[in-house]
Structure 1
């Protein structure tokens, strides 16, 4: 009869109630009203930190309605109800649904400060719903229901009280709300608020632990993302500001609380494919925030999409949009490595460029702070955490580095503040810690900071590569090792870093070891890192000397995880671009395995990589490979199918392979005819 809504997907303070259908059975309707009103009455057991008076009055009136519905179920003859009576009951049901949602939101975990700041709106909603109930009861033909005289009197009382009810903002709520606004104004004016005032607000809201503060942040983050998805800007500023404020509280005021270690999903998911650890933010133009289809580098070293930066320059701007530095020249240098990585990312995920542009806009929106108050709160927090890293006790350092890990998780501006405050050098120092948790949090925080261009530079300038490779090799926890591999991948997105990583003796061999012995997650991250490093061709020989090709072939043939097969093929495709790589692949007897994988793999990305490898083998080795492919009776037919049904790149490479085999057959046929022609006269002569 009724549409149900998932509490986890419904937006807070949105009430998608539906009217019961016109032909609903009256008994079913009253039964639903009984259940719904009982659910509302049960909220009297909940603890509400705001709107207490309004909620208490609402529940009291609904509890009387619940008694009314129970009595109807026991005494009423439903076949005698008039259409107007059923209509009134339907209106009551509609209002009670909304009331139930409103009470859910007022008691929702993590919503305390948001409900406080929306106090006037919430009070107005309570008023509107109570008045709606009064209107429905006022026109309800009570004579249709066989209820007691006492119940009729109670209903009359509900109607009168509902009409007179003043659902206003509680004075204590109003005072707390004004205190929050004062604190936010102090942040906006670059003045760090008094901790005593903040603690009073948190005490009023019963946010007394690190975990409760973390719930508030998670809730506000989720609402912010939903607001972006709805293309609504009404509450974005306040959501961002409150989220930064609560982050400040979590890091500064709850320093001595018990930290509830949160699994933020870093490289622990089962869907991490090659390059998928890259966030789409790395591919977006800082000007347009859209995917860079033609990334170019300006004289300051920053990368932009060609169309965006050309528009910027044509408008008469001669400074770098991101750094503000004056451009020494307007020459634009293509960023071929980044373009290749972006292209490969799209292939791996089977999405078109246009579709990719619409994904993950939420992270792009965090390039700038949501408000001046938000900006200053994060700056104060970043500086505080770095002071703790510099001068704090071991426990304080451990807490600070974990806060940094959380703070940098999905926000570009937060990363910029942490980098600017000087977090990276101190975090690099913590990589040698004997505390496994501290080491893991330090490398995880560095991974997030390495996503930022400035972060990459600082890590390299402070000699962080060797420390990160040391964690990769001898990390105290497997998680630390696999996160280190992910960090190396991000660093390898810069061409000069690919060379530097390759020059560290243990870097590539340790990644290969991780591919061989690591967990599933460790294998995927190591494959991603190796892929990035091998974009620098001179690193190929080092990788080949480690025996990587047989190892990859074994993974392709034995792994039960499709993503590991795809990642292994991606690395093999990169190695195949060089002659030595192609020769090693051929010597490892991988040719038949590649043909089989191409014909049987359900993954479009895997097929793409197989075609790339086979094409590289044909180009680098020649007829020895072409002959094997040409003599496979099913292979060319499969290529024809792939050329029409595969992706654009897979189809193009498949068609190239077809032309190579056609030329091989033509050459072979010409040689046979020539041999036959030269032998024929001799045969006649002998006769």
Structure 2
């Protein structure tokens, strides 16, 4: 119910003070009920209020304190109709009619839809699966409550099983169905381990890679999001299987270079980070391919002014690429490398600072003689010495502290070669700690 301020003021002036019937109010929120529902005790509440009460772990009626025989509230159509009629009668006082709410899905209804999906999957009925997946997507998109209900009924497992089943063999004829399934999966994160196990199968990975390389913008976005979800908690063997898919690195690089949206960029960077840093993956080959594609320069350009999530991921990948000589040489060949790394210290987050310190340590130690001196002098010129001292003062992890101390020792040997920035230049520095 929405009361127009002008109409309420006019009603008060004319002596028509509006009184809301007490049985129209929710006993919890004391507001007019938009979606009245009754519990097994017979007391009516607004759906949003009573669901929050139940989700908090309460299994009793707030008014009677009786234990609820059922946690499924029943719509009270009679009260809702009375409230709507009252709104219509008081329209002149600024009361707007409450729209008829959509009844959320029940656990039995969600289970029935997923059962139909399972039956169609076992029969190889693509059309039946497509219809069931469409219903799941519609329910999830309708409300957060529906999403939680569908997830609780095992939607992740059912959808991933169907994705694996119709990915096997020639999946081109099932591309529409597979696109709908991967779109539905992207709406019900987080996925459980059983769902992820089906998506890690070779046929499922090949299908997601196909969407990354050949799908439309929506298909590529959903494939990245689902792949990021399964990669974040995967085993080393799974990462190796992902790396070995032909064209996967090139497709991910393209999504970073030509972004679709922020989520897609973050997802692509997360997947690449796991590929680069996985202890058992063919790291040198992955790094070499990414470096040859121009990943180092691309990430450095992105780091000029990115948001926090992209900054952390980009720095993490760069740090991994700098573990090899080619990566360090490419980083040092870019004029922005050292200034960007120093700028990110204490500016973004603890994680970004750790990656920046790690990279600075690798770059300062990678060259010998005069060339190494040039790197250290450049770091001094942009204020690295003062920032590292400040970092040690405000506190950091032991490993980061050790690397910062090593870099400080190297920088100290070259301080006499130039005038360093005064520490007062950092008096207005915003610290995320």
CA distance in 1 between counterparts of 2:347 and 2:245 reads 36
Matched, 1:546 2:285: no
Give the C-alpha shift of residue 103 in structure 1: 7.3
Residue equivalent to 2:78: none
Residue equivalent to 1:104: 32
Aligned partner of 2:153 among 404, 414, 437: 414
Please state whether the residue corresponding to 2:323 is helix, strand or coil.
coil
Structure 1 pair 560–542 and aligned structure 2 pair: CA distance change class (3 A) = closer
CA distance in 2 between counterparts of 1:36 and 1:440 reads 53
Matched, 1:501 2:242: yes
CA distance in 2 between counterparts of 1:489 and 1:421 reads 15
Alignment of 1:145-544 (within 5 A): 224=51, 227-228=54-55, 230-234=56-60, 379-389=111-121, 396-405=128-137, 410=148, 413-415=152-154, 418-419=157-158, 422-426=161-165, 428=167, 432=172, 438-447=177-186, 448=188, 451-461=191-201, 463-476=203-216, 478-492=217-231, 493-494=233-234, 495-521=236-262, 522-536=264-278, 538=283, 539-544=286-291
Aligned partner of 1:616 among 337, 362, 368: 362
Residue equivalent to 1:67: none
Give the C-alpha shift of residue 547 in structure 1: 1.7
Equivalent residues of 2:163, 2:178 under 8 A apart: no
Equivalent residues of 1:512, 1:548 under 8 A apart: yes
Equivalent residues of 2:182, 2:223 under 8 A apart: yes
Give the C-alpha shift of residue 119 in structure 1: 6.1
Residue equivalent to 2:327: 581
Aligned partner of 2:309 among 545, 563, 576: 563
CA distance in 2 between counterparts of 1:504 and 1:588 reads 31
CA RMSD of aligned residues (A): 4.6
Give the C-alpha shift of residue 425 in structure 1: 2.4
Structure 1 pair 455–562 and aligned structure 2 pair: CA distance change class (3 A) = same
Please state whether the residue corresponding to 2:296 is helix, strand or coil.
helix
Give the C-alpha shift of residue 507 in structure 1: 0.7
CA distance in 2 between counterparts of 1:583 and 1:421 reads 43
CA distance in 2 between counterparts of 1:398 and 1:547 reads 40
Give the C-alpha shift of residue 444 in structure 1: 2.8
Q: What number of residue pairs does the alignment pair up?
A: 355
Structure 1 pair 546–611 and aligned structure 2 pair: CA distance change class (3 A) = same
CA displacement, residues 330-370 of structure 1 (integer Å, 9 cap, x when unaligned): xxxxxxxxxxxxxxxxxxxxxxxxxxxxxxxxxxxxxxxxx
Equivalent residues of 1:433, 1:439 under 8 A apart: no
Residue equivalent to 2:43: 121
Which residues of structure 2 form unaligned runs of 5+?
4-11, 62-66, 75-105, 141-145, 417-433
Please state whether the residue corresponding to 1:504 is helix, strand or coil.
coil
Give the C-alpha shift of residue 101 in structure 1: 6.1
Equivalent residues of 1:378, 1:417 under 8 A apart: no
CA displacement, residues 489-508 of structure 1 (integer Å, 9 cap, x when unaligned): 23323211110111112111
CA displacement, residues 149-180 of structure 1 (integer Å, 9 cap, x when unaligned): xxxxxxxxxxxxxxxxxxxxxxxxxxxxxxxx
Equivalent residues of 1:450, 1:459 under 8 A apart: no
CA distance in 2 between counterparts of 1:6 and 1:622 reads 73
Equivalent residues of 1:401, 1:427 under 8 A apart: no
CA displacement, residues 542-575 of structure 1 (integer Å, 9 cap, x when unaligned): 3223221111111112x55443333322221232
Q: TM-score, normalised by structure 2?
A: 0.65
CA displacement, residues 119-146 of structure 1 (integer Å, 9 cap, x when unaligned): 6223xx9xxxxxxxxxxxxxxxxxxxxx
Residue equivalent to 1:642: 391
Give the C-alpha shift of residue 643 in structure 1: 2.3
Equivalent residues of 1:576, 1:613 under 8 A apart: yes
Equivalent residues of 1:389, 1:426 under 8 A apart: yes
CA displacement, residues 640-677 of structure 1 (integer Å, 9 cap, x when unaligned): 1122336x33x8525532333325645999xxxxxxxx
CA distance in 2 between counterparts of 1:615 and 1:238 reads 64
Aligned partner of 1:653 among 400, 405, 415: 400
CA distance in 2 between counterparts of 1:419 and 1:625 reads 57
Larger CA Rg, structure 1 vs 2: 1
CA displacement, residues 450-507 of structure 1 (integer Å, 9 cap, x when unaligned): 832222222233521111000011113x122022112222332321111011111211
CA distance in 2 between counterparts of 1:223 and 1:610 reads 49
CA distance in 2 between counterparts of 1:377 and 1:100 reads 28
Structure 1 pair 578–34 and aligned structure 2 pair: CA distance change class (3 A) = farther
Give the C-alpha shift of residue 614 in structure 1: 1.4
Give the C-alpha shift of residue 530 in structure 1: 1.2
Equivalent residues of 1:515, 1:526 under 8 A apart: yes
Structure 1 pair 225–513 and aligned structure 2 pair: CA distance change class (3 A) = farther
Please state whether the residue corresponding to 2:200 is helix, strand or coil.
helix
Equivalent residues of 2:385, 2:411 under 8 A apart: no
Equivalent residues of 1:382, 1:418 under 8 A apart: no
Q: TM-score, normalised by structure 1?
A: 0.43
Equivalent residues of 2:160, 2:198 under 8 A apart: no
Give the C-alpha shift of residue 626 in structure 1: 6.5
Structure 1 pair 421–662 and aligned structure 2 pair: CA distance change class (3 A) = closer
